[in-house]
Amino acid sequence: MQYYVIEWDHEEPDEPWKLYLELDSRGCPRRKVEVFRIGLYQPYDDLEEPPMDPRQAAGAEGNVTALNRVQFDDIWEQSRQMPDGFMGMFF
């Protein structure tokens, strides 16, 4: 597995400013966490997405940093404990 975080420098409240990725040996996302400026964490697992290149996903404005499994798992656990998505706005 490979682990990355992509960070974008923007203030859009409805777009994630961080994206944490767990990619399998083929480069396909297995789990990911979107982090929004308003404090929402949106975890996704059991993904069936095609292979991706984190640097390409980051675009010209994004910064990509490699993580280790412990770092990714820490964020994953945080995202599972925090309110997320539409309903998270009511907690």
Q: List the pLDDT tens digit at each of the 91 positions of the chain.
A: 999 999 998 888 888 999 999 999 999 999 999 998 888 889 999 888 999 999 998 888 899 999 999 999 999 998 888 655 544 555 4
CA dihedral angle for residue 8, residue 9, residue 12, residue 14, rounded to 10 degrees: 20
> How far is the C-alpha of 10 from the C-alpha of 67, rounded, in Å?
22
What's the pLDDT at 7? 94
What's the pLDDT at 39? 81
